[in-house]
Amino acid sequence: MGVFDQSNARMNAPEPNPAPEKNDFIRQIVRDDLASGKHSRIRTRFPPEPNGYLHIGHAKSICLNFGIGREFGGLVNLRFDDTNPSKEDMEFVESIQEDVRWLGFEWDELRHASDYFEVFYRSAVKLIEDGKAYVCDLSAEEVREYRGTLTQPGRPSPYRERPVAENLDLFRRMRAGEFADGSRTLRAKIDMASGNINMRDPALYRIRKVAHQNTGDAWPIYPMYDYAHCISDALEGITHSLCTLEFEDHRPLYDWCVDNVDLPNHPELWQPLVEAGFDTPVAKPRQIEFSRLNINYTVMSKRKLLALVSDGLVAGWDDPRMPTLSGLRRRGYPPAALRLFADRIGISKQNSVIDFSVLENCVRDVLDAEAERRMAVLDPVKLVIENLPEGHAETLEFGNHPKNEAAGKRTVPFSREIWIEREDFMETPVKDFHRLVPGGEVRLRGVGIVKCVDVIKDGETVRELRGQLDLDSRPGMEGAKRKVKGTIHWVCAKAGVPAEVRLYDRLFTVADPDNDEDGKSYRDYLNPDSIRTVRAMLEPAACAAAPEQSFQFERSGYFTADRHDHRPDAPVFNRSVTLRDTWSAK
């Protein structure tokens, strides 16, 4: 077995997923390949570039690659495409591994493109020797000029017919660091008249004297993605290389590199990996494309996400308004909801835009089943129950989950003075308002029916309410059967705990913030109400939550204890999602 992180490896293939069989065009290809005997075991990979945090779009690819591996008893590699060290960082490497595990997946082998730098170099030398690659001295601007357009063929580089010996000499000197950054490239010799611009002598290597996080200063040249990716797949024996539709036009180049390097028939190219103890099940991979995830009311360009962080427009990569997996996690989106989302949107060849509410509904569905219930008052106003004695205190019993008796019960303190939501009282009620009004009655959750008998104001602001509890309406008594239209929640004023509650909403005000018409950019569409912080009052059982534990705050929504800031003695909760879709009404 190869050299990799043994703690992360599953040495045996996983059992097939017992869930109902999923069906899409990729899974059908896999079934057909296994049934025909083309492959005895499949291998897939998730190949992120460590130049940023993963976002919701990556979750679709993770669920597909790892999901197929689980379903068909195959193997899945996590491979870092670390071929551009100037933009990469170990912080991103660590966050990617954490996100994959958080989603509920484990890789069989942890690999890096940098593991294969020597193989990439030897393979490039082979292409030069075969007359299929050459060193080019054109600048980047000149390369673009020579490349042509979609309607005009390209022109051959004046260096295209350099002799093999000269190309070998120049490439070895590139490797030795003799030339300045950007002064030369190694290009494949394919077809400058091709209708596919990707085949017009694409670059395979560029000079970049930047230290690499894994290899240090050993390499002053780095391979291009299109070249390194396919050779990595071949070295790892990847059977189905799954990528998004923007790489469909790159597939001819993928196949050209695989075919012309021809690793299976040239073991001398990957001998360094054998000597280093790497598992090298060399095979010819097949690239298959599927539609990427496009979701409205957000941006998923790494460049734009980086700008949001760098320019202080959000609080960091894990800001709960960000579409990053770490942001969604901190907001309280459970990993099961993201897996459910991936299942619901499915896999296809057709690009489309998914409404953000589909994701939110997945969160609701999972949290409705999993999250215990608690009472919290987000905008408190005091209600004093006058016909209870001063110092009155009792303990009530509430079920933790109305649909799951196994979740057990909790005790909730109750006293003469309680907090209720300010919006649950209206001095001059509008039609169909069925909560507390002067002289009106409402049921206090688990307590009984209370009548508002007085309103104490400070100017126009209601400072305190006074009420009378119908003592015959307590639970279990005959009067409890009396009908009233409204039921409201509450928190004991004596035992309630103040908490910071962060009310998050969508980061952008428009469905397509990438739309740059009228000279606007995504920055112009930032939602000024995407976060609002309130000082709430919580029942004590909510404050004892562990970081990342989620509750339904009754009648308010689903809230999650912040994974970094929450403490039982200083609670901090993030609103994950409202009980219902409130955005469409806006």
Encode pLDDT of 109-165 as tens digits: 999 999 999 999 999 999 999 999 999 999 999 999 999 999 999 999 999 999 999
Same domain, 480 and 394: yes
pLDDT at 252: 98
By C-alpha distance, which of 362, 328, 381 is closest to 493? 381
pLDDT at 337: 98
| Torsion sign across C-alpha atoms 168, 174, 179, 183 | positive
Same domain, 362 and 384: no
Same domain, 327 and 385: no
CA dist 552 and 546 (Å) reads 15
CA dist 418 and 426 (Å) reads 17
In order, the DSSP letters of 24-52 are -HHHHHHHHHHHHTS-SS-EEEE---SSS
400: number of CA atoms within 13 Å, CB side?
Answer: 15
18: number of CA atoms within 13 Å, CB side?
Answer: 0
Express as a percent the part of the chain with pLDDT over 70. Answer: 96
SS (H, E, C) 153-194: CCCCCCCCCCCHHHHHHHHHHHHCCCCCCCCCEEEECCCCCC
Tokens of residue 474, six digits: 């307590």
384 in a structural domain: yes
CA 407 to chain centroid: 29
Same domain, 465 and 566: no
Q: By three-state DSSP, how is residue 227 classified?
A: helix
454 in a structural domain: yes
pLDDT at 22: 87
- Give the domain-ending residue among 422, 455, 489: 489
CA dist 190 and 460 (Å) reads 79
By C-alpha distance, which of 335, 312, 308 is closest to 322? 308
List Cβ neighbours of 93 (8 Å cut-off, separation of 6 or more).
50, 80, 82, 213
CA dist 204 and 185 (Å) reads 7
Binding residues: 49-51, 55-61, 81, 225, 244, 292-293, 300-302
- Give the domain-ending residue among 489, 522, 553: 489
List Cβ neighbours of 91 (8 Å cut-off, separation of 6 or more).
none
CA dist 285 and 42 (Å) reads 10
Note whether 577 and 359 are within 8 A (CB).
no
pLDDT at 455: 97
Q: By three-state DSSP, how is residue 109 classified?
A: strand
Same domain, 480 and 386: yes
Same domain, 477 and 403: yes
Residue in the structure block whose two tokens are 């005959």: 478
CA dist 388 and 468 (Å) reads 8
Same domain, 319 and 406: no
Task: Cite the active site residues.
Answer: 49, 292, 302
Tokens of residue 343, six digits: 């299942």
What CATH number does the domain containing 405 carry? 2.40.240.10
Same domain, 583 and 516: yes
Cα Rg for the chain, rounded, in angstroms?
31
**Which residues share a beta bridge with 15?**
none
169 in a structural domain: no
For the chain, how are helix, strand and coil distributed in percent, rounded to 5?
35, 25, 40
Note whether 352 and 345 are within 8 A (CB).
no
According to DSSP, the β-strands at 380-385 and 417-421 are: antiparallel
Name the helix (H) or strand (E) containing 195: none
By C-alpha distance, which of 104, 341, 362, 113 is closest to 226? 113
pLDDT at 4: 29
165 in a structural domain: no
By C-alpha distance, which of 208, 225, 194, 203 is closest to 159? 203
First to last CA, the chain: 57
CA dist 174 and 176 (Å) reads 5
Note whether 569 and 584 are within 8 A (CB).
no
- Give the domain-ending residue among 489, 511, 527: 489
**Which residues share a beta bridge with 421?**
380
Note whether 363 and 333 are within 8 A (CB).
yes
Note whether 564 and 327 are within 8 A (CB).
no
Same domain, 358 and 387: no
CA dist 271 and 276 (Å) reads 9
219 in a structural domain: no
404 in a structural domain: yes
Binding residues for ATP: 49-51, 55-61, 244, 292-293, 300-302
Say how many domains are in the chain.
Answer: 2
Domain that holds residue 549: 299-372+500-586
CA dist 127 and 231 (Å) reads 13
Per-residue tens of pLDDT for the chain, all 586 residues: 333 233 333 333 334 344 568 889 999 999 999 999 999 999 999 999 999 999 999 999 999 999 999 999 999 999 999 999 999 999 999 999 999 999 999 999 999 999 999 999 999 999 999 999 999 999 999 999 999 999 999 999 999 999 999 999 999 999 999 999 999 999 999 999 999 999 999 999 999 999 999 999 999 999 999 999 999 999 999 999 999 999 999 999 999 999 999 999 999 999 999 999 999 999 999 999 999 999 999 999 999 999 999 999 999 999 999 999 999 999 999 999 999 999 999 999 999 999 999 999 999 999 999 999 999 999 999 999 999 999 999 999 999 999 999 999 999 999 999 999 999 999 999 999 999 999 999 999 999 999 999 999 999 999 999 999 999 999 999 999 999 999 999 999 999 999 999 999 999 999 999 998 888 999 999 999 999 999 999 999 999 999 999 999 999 999 999 999 999 999 999 999 999 987 666 6
**Which residues share a beta bridge with 536?**
499
**Which residues share a beta bridge with 417?**
384
DSSP conformational letter for 340:
H
321 in a structural domain: yes
List Cβ neighbours of 433 (8 Å cut-off, separation of 6 or more).
426
Note whether 293 and 57 are within 8 A (CB).
yes
No. of helices (H) and no. of strands (E), the chain: 14, 27
Same domain, 380 and 481: yes
pLDDT at 517: 84
247 in a structural domain: no
Same domain, 481 and 413: yes
Beta strands per DSSP E along 87-234: 109-112, 133-136, 185-188, 203-207, 221-223
CA dist 104 and 76 (Å) reads 13
Number of CB atoms found within 10 A of residue 81's CB: 19
Same domain, 508 and 484: no
Binding residues for L-glutamine: 81, 225
